[in-house]
Amino acid sequence: MRAAVCGLCLAALLWVSVLPARTEVDHAVILIYHHVSTETPASTSVSPDQFERHLDYIESAGYRVWPLSRVLAAIYDDAEALPEDVVAITFDDAYESVFSEARPRLDSRGLPYSVFVNTDAIDAGHSPYMTWDQLRRLSDEGVELGNHSATHGHLAAPESEESQADWRHRVAEDIGKAHDRITREIGRAPEAFAYPYGEDSPELAEIVGERYRWGLAQRSGPIGPLTDPLSMPRFPMATGFASMDRLELALRSRPLPVVQVRTRADGRKGGLERIRLILEEGGYRSGQIGCFSGSGQSLSIERERADPLVISIDVEGVGRPGRNKVNCTAPASDGSGDFFWYAYQWKVAS
């Protein structure tokens, strides 16, 4: 019904909700917010009115908001049946507007949420962050608090002139410091980690995995049982990517069943030439998979094999210094208008 969706085209799409009868499924969507304010950087903010409209839509369209821990237990541990249309709401950085603007709106509806805390900013009393008193109050009210590192630095790879051993030590110390600060101040240990800037890597995930089972990134896509629990996508909600159309698109997404990812380097530090995906069969139109760069550029795809489906994505020349993303989507084969989605992120050194 619709072609695959590019990242920059999302806000231009008009979606019409058709709510089928609820069924048990194996996937859910995690949303990530930062500021809920009109006085903070647009790239990480939604206005209070816009956030209210998001919650109105989530409730009116029949979505169920679950605590993050409950979602993860249902998907990865089969703790309970996961109904259709489940979403978790998360906030990174513990900004004050979450307490003053998001909290009353969520509390009035009885909706759970999680906050990931970078502790050095809290300890320093920096604005516009919450205080430990406010965070304790959230915890007492049932909000799940997670680790977002101490320094909120770039942790995914060694810095220039930093050895691998020194980097591993720095990262482990940073994560451990934040874990201990949250545990002491709140009275309970955090159970999940959110990567600063959403920047993860297999090497960083290995370090995070020594302390946590769950690692949350910041790239578009739903989660399912095939999703790496130390590299879980979340749909970012901020100005330019927080329209009602995009919110609906995110909530209606399903995970592309990617079972293996392989990459081929292009000679630059962190640069890639190709991304190779192996996918299981599923309820998606495999002949209509499209992959797009973070800037919305359609990428060339080679279908290497049909059973199992293997696609090779040409990303040579796409990557630039900093974070880079590829989004792959395919329409559902059931005519619902939903999209299956997978995103891959990597970082190229400056």
Which of 1.10.10.350, 3.40.50.920, 3.20.20.370, 3.40.50.2000 is the CATH number of 18-251? 3.20.20.370
pLDDT, one tens digit per residue, over 199-248 is: 999 999 999 999 999 999 999 999 999 999 999 999 999 999 999 999 99
Instruction: State the chain's mean pLDDT as an integer.
Output: 92
CATH number of 260-348: 2.60.40.10
Which residues, other chains included, contact 169 with Cβ-Cβ below 8 Å and sequence gap of 6+?
A: none
Tell me which of 95-99, 156-160, 224-228, 255-259 is least confident: 156-160
Evaluate if residue 94 carries a pLDDT over 90: yes
The residues of the chain that CATH labels 3.20.20.370 are: 18-251
Summarised one tens digit per residue, pLDDT across range 263-285 is: 998 877 778 999 999 999 999 99
Q: What is the pLDDT of residues 8-65, one digit of tens each?
A: 343 333 223 333 344 568 999 999 999 999 999 999 999 999 999 999 999 999 999 9
Closest alpha carbon to 177 in 150, 196, 155, 200: 150
Could you identify the residue written with the tokens 């090497």? 203
Which among 291, 259, 284 is positioned nearest to 338, based on CA atoms? 284
- With 50 as the cut, is the pLDDT of residue 96 above it? yes
The residue type at 152: H
Give Dmax (Cα) for the chain.
Answer: 57
Side-chain half-sphere of 16: how many Cα atoms within 13 Å? 4
Residue type, 42: A
Residue 147's DSSP bridge partners are: 117, 193
pTM of the predicted model as reported, rounded to 2 decimal places:
0.92
The pLDDT value given to residue 21: 40
* Residue 142 φ/ψ region, left for φ over 0, alpha for ψ in the -120 to 50 degree band, beta for the rest: left
**CA distance readout (Å), 74 to 68, 69, 82, 176, 228:** 10, 9, 6, 27, 15
Q: Where in the chain is the domain with CATH 2.60.40.10?
A: 260-348
Place of tokens 């101040």: 185
Helices (H), 187-273: 202-208, 244-251
Sign, Cα dihedral of 331, 332, 337, 338:
negative
pLDDT, position 24: 67
Report how far residue 350's alpha carbon sits from residue 52's, in angstroms, rounded to the nearest whole number: 39
Residue 212: half-sphere exposure toward Cβ, Cα within 13 Å: 30
